[in-house]
Amino acid sequence: MLELSINGEAHRAEVTADVPLLWVLRDVLGMTGTKFGCGIAQCGACTVHLDGQPVRSCQLPVGLVGARKITTVEGVGATPAGAAVQKAWLDLDVIQCGYCQSGQIMSAAALIAATPAPTDADIDAAMAGNICRCGTYVRIREGIKKAAAEHHA
């Protein structure tokens, strides 16, 4: 039995330590906001925060999480950076199909939490691991700048 702290709540899961966190979240705990896109850390759809750091949950064996705090898209709105990103995303209508956006929002929230005024290079460095097949990149870039400005205002 594994103990996990997710979005500030304690959760238990009966799984072997090798199961990637992604599947524990989605299939065992029923938290389907975190998405499966590739399974090989190449698309970013499964991004969650571990102690605030963005990580690809599809490649993270749940046994390695330990006491670190997990934040998912379901809980990121409770953080100031996450709320700022969500708001900017709605204000600018960033989203199309939305399937990649859980991951985009998690990566973006981690970025603006750490970087007050992200440059284009900062955005590239933080977001190039997140694929959007609908092609919302133009607005993701704008959204990050807007969210950062409001968050750090």
Residues of this chain, 58-97, that bind ligand FES according to CB under 6 A: 58, 95-97
**CB 5, min distance to another protein, A:** 15
Extract the tokens encoding 69. 């705090």
Q: Which of 4, 131, 147, 148 binds another protein (CB under 8 A)?
A: 131
| Gap between the Cα atoms of 65 and 59, Å rounded | 12
Q: Which of 95, 110, 112, 148 binds another protein (CB under 8 A)?
A: 95
Q: Which is nearer to ligand FES, 128 or 134 (CB)?
A: 134
Q: x/- contact string, 4-43, with another protein (CB under 8 A)?
A: -----------xx-xxx--xx-xxx-xxxxxxxxxxxxxx
Distances (CA, A) of 125 to 13, 49, 108, 114, 120: 34, 17, 11, 13, 9
Check: CB of residue 62 under 8 Å from CB of residue 125.
no
**CB 107, min distance to another protein, A:** 10
49 — phi, psi (to 5°)?
Answer: -105, 140
Extract the tokens encoding 117. 């005024």
Binding-site ranges for ligand FES (CB under 6 A):
36-39, 41-46, 56, 58, 95-101, 132-134, 136
